[in-house]
Amino acid sequence: MALTVANPQGMQVVWFKRDLRVHDHAALTAAAQAGKVLCIYVCEPQLWQQPDASGRQWHFLLESLSDLQRSLARRGSRLHVLVGDMTEVLEKLHQQLPIAALYAHEETGNDYTYRRDIAVGQWCRQHRVAWQEFRQFGVVRRLRHRDDWKDHWESHNAAATKSVPAANWAQLGCLPGEVALKDLPQVMQRLLPGLLDDNPVARQRGGRQSGIAILEDFLQRRSRQYRGGISSPLSATSACSRLSAHLAYGCLSLREIVQATQRHLASATDLNAHHQRGLRAFISRLYWHCHFIQKLESQPDIEWRNLHRGYDGLREADWNDAHFVALIHARTGWPLVDACVTMLRETGWLNFRMRAMLVSVASYALWLHWRPVGEWLARQFVDYEPGIHWSQMQMQAGTTGINTTRVYNPIKQARDQDPEGRFVRHWLPYMRQVPDAWLFEPWRMPDDLQRQHGLVPGRDLPLPLVDFENATRLAKARVHTLRRQPDVREAKAAIVDKHGSRQRTSQQRRARTRQAPETRLQLDLAL
């Protein structure tokens, strides 16, 4: 179909990526102020071939795109969905109608998107197309040091949210390579067979309208459970905000969530002290959300390389494929671990403490390198956010060099977080036959009870892959021996200086003559 453009010169192209909303969209607002606006989303097959991509993420994205398309249509615009390599898409588009400027939000993604954005920048310079990028989170591109980072975060989130602009929308026919959104699943299935098959029935649904409803429900009702409720997998499903996927895909902006929470704190008259502390803790975790993404922004190679290079070679040569296969198939023998893996497979979500426990068990008890484990977990998480994910993978695996070693004992965690076995019995049917007294270590059941209940460890329920106490003692000894080496200790200071958080604002720091950088970073990022 031929393009019908009243004035094709100087098109302002808004490139939607992981910012699938119209409200508080800085790139869209800027484009609307500059001229005729064309909105595009480019579905990149190469992106979905990356080892951290999965069908469950794609389906959430598709629902979010559908919501965005409806939102634009109500305003007289249209979302043009294109398929292909981004620079090739731009080249074809530019040949048909001159692009004056490309607008987008900054993205701290995986290595593919990092290199893709570099290529897009080169293309724009070659074709003299202005490329304007805007901050999506409280993350600072080309950050020189961390000293004033908290100030940047606070100023970004204190700024007024941008309302939907009154734009001069481009009225076009089909663009080169455009695909109707309803046909996109068939196109992707043809290009990447099997991708769409990964679509858990119980996963969260995408889209801004869903995100707004979840935020309202959290602020008005569920946030009462937030303080004290986010650690146990029994209560976390409702106690957590459940906004992480909507943040990851930009259905809601970080700023509007922060401000909505602050308004609720200031205006609600029925908040008791416990509820208020919970909401403040939630805002604090939104801060830590950006703090960890900043690490990947400042050092992109932590996606695949140890943050502290002194830990290179610690686990790489000892990879145990049998341990990894047992982990991903929920056959480690520790009921809470296997129940968490099963829940993650069936829903695409798990609360933070249980995520940390999975990585800890993989890293210490099973002595698995964090990178392959991280790729598997990334594919499981509908709310996969690369900056948080890879920072936390290394933090839990002990390769940052600046954090305390944290080993989660799955037996103790089960006693603390699922004392009646309701969670493990829900996700592991064979555990329903296990008497209460043996919930935490069912492999120790006496022979007569095994016969009585028809359960034989090793046949009807998996045996632990290793002796947890011995395995973790040896693992910690290896990590701590390396940590004590002079060159490893000396390299720590530079990492703290580059990535360590600063607890105070610059005004507070100026009031003090000396402040030690924080080395024990907050872990609980459950949103």
Q: Rounded CA gap, 383 and 386, in Å?
A: 10
* Per-residue pLDDT reduced to its tens digit, 406-424: 899 999 999 999 999 999 9
pTM for this model (two decimals)? 0.93
Counting beta carbons within 10 angstroms of the beta carbon of residue 192, is it exposed (0 to 12), middle (13 to 18) or buried (19 or more)?
A: middle
H-run or E-run covering 283: helix 273-298
- Tens place of pLDDT per residue across the chain (527 aa): 334 333 346 899 999 999 999 999 999 999 999 999 999 999 999 999 999 999 999 999 999 999 999 999 999 999 999 999 999 999 999 999 899 999 999 999 999 999 999 999 999 999 999 999 999 999 999 998 888 899 999 999 999 998 888 889 998 888 988 999 999 999 999 999 999 999 999 999 999 999 999 999 999 999 999 999 999 999 999 999 999 999 999 999 999 999 999 999 999 888 999 999 999 999 999 999 999 999 999 999 999 999 999 999 999 999 999 999 999 999 999 999 999 999 999 999 999 999 999 999 999 999 999 999 999 999 999 999 999 999 999 999 999 988 888 899 999 999 999 999 999 999 999 999 999 999 999 999 999 999 999 999 999 999 999 999 999 999 999 999 999 988 888 888 888 888 877 655 445 444 443 333 333 333 334 47
| Residue 177 confidence (pLDDT) | 85
Q: Rounded CA gap, 363 and 337, in Å?
A: 13
* Per-residue pLDDT reduced to its tens digit, 427-453: 999 999 999 999 999 999 999 999 999
H-run or E-run covering 368: none
DSSP notation for 118-185:
HHHHHHHHHTT-EEEEE-SSS--TT---STTHHHHHHHHHHSPPPPPP--EE----PPTTB--GGGHH
* 180's tokens: 């109707």
- Chain centroid to CA 467: 32
Instruction: Give yes or no for a contact between 99 and 124, defined as CB atoms under 8 angstroms apart.
Output: no
φ, ψ for residue 524, nearest 5 deg: -80, 95
Q: Rounded CA gap, 403 and 397, in Å?
A: 10
DSSP 79: E
* Per-residue pLDDT reduced to its tens digit, 180-207: 999 999 999 999 999 999 999 999 999 9
Angle, CA 20 vertex, CA 130 and CA 255 arms, to 5°: 90
* 67's tokens: 């919501």
End-to-end CA distance of the chain: 46
Tell the residue number behind the tokens 């249980």, with chain if given. 354
Instruction: Give yes or no for a contact between 191 and 84, defined as CB atoms under 8 angstroms apart.
Output: no
* 389's tokens: 């994910």
| Residue 294 confidence (pLDDT) | 96
Average predicted confidence (pLDDT) for the chain: 92
Q: What number of other Cβ atoms are within 10 A of residue 186's Cβ?
A: 11
* 195's tokens: 């991708």
What is each CA distance from 470 to 330, 406, 477, 479, in whole angstroms? 21, 16, 11, 14
Instruction: Give yes or no for a contact between 521 and 406, defined as CB atoms under 8 angstroms apart.
Output: no
Q: Rounded CA gap, 80 and 314, in Å?
A: 48
- SS in 3 state form for 412-471? HHHHHHCCCCHHHHHHCHHHHHCCHHHCCCHHHCCHHHHHHHCCCECCCECCCCCCHHHH
Instruction: Give yes or no for a contact between 218 and 243, defined as CB atoms under 8 angstroms apart.
Output: yes
DSSP 35: S
Contacts of 215 (CB under 8 A, 6+ apart): 241, 243, 252, 257, 260
* Alpha-carbon radius of gyration of the chain: 25
Q: Rounded CA gap, 20 and 61, in Å?
A: 9
Query: E strands within 148-304?
Result: 168-169
* 235's tokens: 């209560």
Q: Indicate the pairing of strand 130-134 with strand 11-16.
A: unpaired
Q: Rounded CA gap, 303 and 301, in Å?
A: 5
